[in-house]
Structure 1
Amino acid sequence: MTDTNNKTLLHSCQVPVRWGDMDAYGHVNNALYMRYLEEARVQFLADIGAAMDGNGIDPVVINVGCTFLRPVNYPATMIIKSFVGEIGRSSFMVHYELSTTDAPDILCSEGYSKVVWMDHSSGRSVPLPDQIRKNISA
């Protein structure tokens, strides 16, 4: 499935907001969004067959960011959609759309990360494995 920005939706998940995710303003603390993106990314990478043991040739994140569009308050459940964007020799962009189950059509934030395949023994990037490239190019 492709959205209007030519990004391919490859994964969606839900993450419950915990009481401890709140800050002094009574909404989810901005730093917690990085955890939500991480959880979605780990699930997404597992779905496309990425090994993540840190001993061989595995994905690493070299860039991550988030734009906050509306506050989220406890109790809530986040919906995180992961889209594959630009695909390079050894990397690809993941774009995220976050909403809540009570307002699934209204974004509360948007995020991104750049995932690079790396040989942990050399510390250098390597070409995306053929199967990974196939799985994200579907």
Structure 2
Amino acid sequence: MEAKTFTYEIQVRWGDTDRLGHVNNTRFVEYMQEARVHFLLSELKAAGARARAMVVRRMDVEFLRPVTDDAGPLKVDVTVLRVGTSSYTIHHVITNRDGVVCGTGDAVMVAFDVKKNRPRPLSDAERAGLEQYLTPVCVG
């Protein structure tokens, strides 16, 4: 079975850009977060998982091309690179309206038990929802 890709569209907002008309790099992280939250809420719910706490453990972002005021709408594609016992890695790709990749980023997420203040194992439903988007990692 081929992995799915979750796609989320975002408009470039007036306040996202600097004096040069470029989207501030911190907004890339916000765009990725917004897409990731929508992905988790819709896809894990569709898999039968109930909403539970997840935290970002680590995030790496690569800024490839500037995003300008007129680059939108932007598209953020979300896939999953790895699913572990309590953590998983989400991959984000931001493209502009012309299909040019402007940035990529990986977020290591951890399922979290807020009462015990520590990681918890992923539920079977969470795992099933994530694994639909699991993309093989190419090493080379």
Query: Under a length normalisation based on structure 2, what TM-score does the superposition of the two structures give?
Result: 0.83
1:78 correspondence with 2:83: no
Higher-helix-fraction structure:
2
- 4+ runs deviating over 3 angstroms: none
How far did 1:62 drift? 1.2
Quick one: structure 1 residues 119 and 17, their matched pair in 2 at CA, closer, same or farther if it must change by over 3 Å?
same
Query: Under a length normalisation based on structure 1, what TM-score does the superposition of the two structures give?
Result: 0.84
Quick one: structure 1 residues 137 and 29, their matched pair in 2 at CA, closer, same or farther if it must change by over 3 Å?
same
Q: How does 1:33-112 map to 2 (within 5 A)?
A: 33-47=28-42, 48-49=44-45, 51-52=50-51, 57-75=52-70, 76-101=72-97, 103-104=98-99, 106-112=100-106
How far did 1:59 drift? 1.2
Higher-strand-fraction structure:
1
Q: 2:19 aligns with which of 20, 24, 37?
A: 24
Q: Name 2:7's counterpart in structure 1.
A: 12
Letter in 2 for 1:41: R
What stretches of structure 1 of length at least 5 have no aligned partner? 3-7
Tell me, yes or no, if the aligned pair for 1:51 and 1:58 is still in contact at 8 Å: no
1:119 correspondence with 2:113: yes
Task: Tell me the distance in 1 between the aligned counterparts of 2:105 and 2:50.
Answer: 23
What stretches of structure 2 of length at least 5 have no aligned partner? 133-140
Alignment RMSD (CA, Å): 1.6
Q: Name 2:127's counterpart in structure 1.
A: 133
Quick one: structure 1 residues 39 and 51, their matched pair in 2 at CA, closer, same or farther if it must change by over 3 Å?
farther
Matched residue pairs, number? 127
